[in-house]
Amino acid sequence: MIFQSIYETWRSLLDTLWKALGFEGKEGSLVVLGLDNAGKTTLLHRLRTGGDVRSFPPTDRPHQTEKFESQNIKFQAWDMGGHEAVRHLWEDYVCECSAVLFLIDAADTKRLEEASFELDALIGEKVVKGLPVAILLNKCDLEEEAMSTTEICKRIQYDDLRRMQGEDNISIFRISVLRGEGYQSAFRWIADFL
C-alpha cells in the first residue's frame, strides 16, 4: 500500500516534469486548405493511417479527422473542400485552429495563379494573424512537371506574403504525399508553435 502510494506520487511528479519540459501533452488542431485536387484528403489519410495512398473523391463538405500523431504531438485536423463554392467556409474553420496547412499542386502550372489568389486572400484575413501558415508544395515526385521552389515563390509573391504574415509565421516546404516525404519537417516547424 505504501509502496503503491510512493509509486503514484513519483509517477505524477515525473508526469508533471515531463509535461513541463514540453515532451508530452502537446496537442494541435489544424485546418488543411488549398485548391481542389491539391492532395489535402490524401495527406490526412496518410498521416492518420501511415500507409497506402489511394484515390479519394473530391471533398464537398468539411470534416474532422480522427486524432493522429506526428512529431509526438497529437493532432486533429479539419479537411476542407477545395472547390470554389466551398472556399468561403475556410475562414470559419481557421478561427478554431492552431495552425494552417495550405497545399499547392506544384505540378499544376495552369492553376498556380488561382492558388496564389486564394492564398493571398487568406493571408489578408484577420483570423489568420499570428497563426503559423505552412505552405506545402505537393506532388514534387513528378520531377519533370513540378515547378522549382524559386519559381513558385516568385509567382505567388512569397516575399509579400512573408511581410504580411510575419517572417516567423510562414514557411514553405516541398513535399510528396505519394512518397511520404517532406511534410514531416512542416510538422516539426508547427510543433514549435504549440
Q: Is 37 in the site for other proteins (CB under 8 A)?
A: yes
Question: Pick from 60, 125, 160, 192: which binds other proteins (CB under 8 A)?
Answer: 60
Per the structure block, which three cell numbers stand in for 25? 501533452
CA 82 to chain CA centroid, Å, is 15
Q: Of 146, 133, 132, 155, which Cα lies nearest the Cα of 181?
A: 146
Q: What single letter denotes the amino acid at residue 79?
A: D
Q: Is 86 in the site for other proteins (CB under 8 A)?
A: yes
Question: Pick from 48, 56, 153, 194: which binds other proteins (CB under 8 A)?
Answer: 56
Q: How many CB atoms lie within 10 A of CB 155?
A: 14
Report in angstroms how near the CB of residue 134 gets to other proteins at its nearest.
23
From the list 52-60, 67-75, 130-138, 147-155, the region that binds other proteins by CB under 8 A is 52-60
- Cβ closest to other proteins, residue 53 vs residue 153: 53
Q: Is 55 in the site for other proteins (CB under 8 A)?
A: yes
End-to-end CA distance of the chain: 39
Q: How many CB atoms lie within 10 A of CB 129?
A: 12
Q: Is 176 in the site for other proteins (CB under 8 A)?
A: no
Contact mark string toward other proteins, 87..116, x via CB under 8 A = --------------------xx-x------
Q: How many CB atoms lie within 10 A of CB 38?
A: 25
CB of 133 within 8 A of CB of 164? Answer: no
Dist CA 90 CA 120 (whole Å): 13
Contact mark string toward other proteins, 126..155, x via CB under 8 A = ----------------x-------------
Q: Is 4 in the site for other proteins (CB under 8 A)?
A: no
Q: Which residue has the cell 513541463?
A: 20
Residues that bind other proteins (CB under 8 A): 36-37, 54-58, 60, 81, 83-86, 107-108, 110, 142
| Binding annotation for Mg(2+) | 36, 41, 59
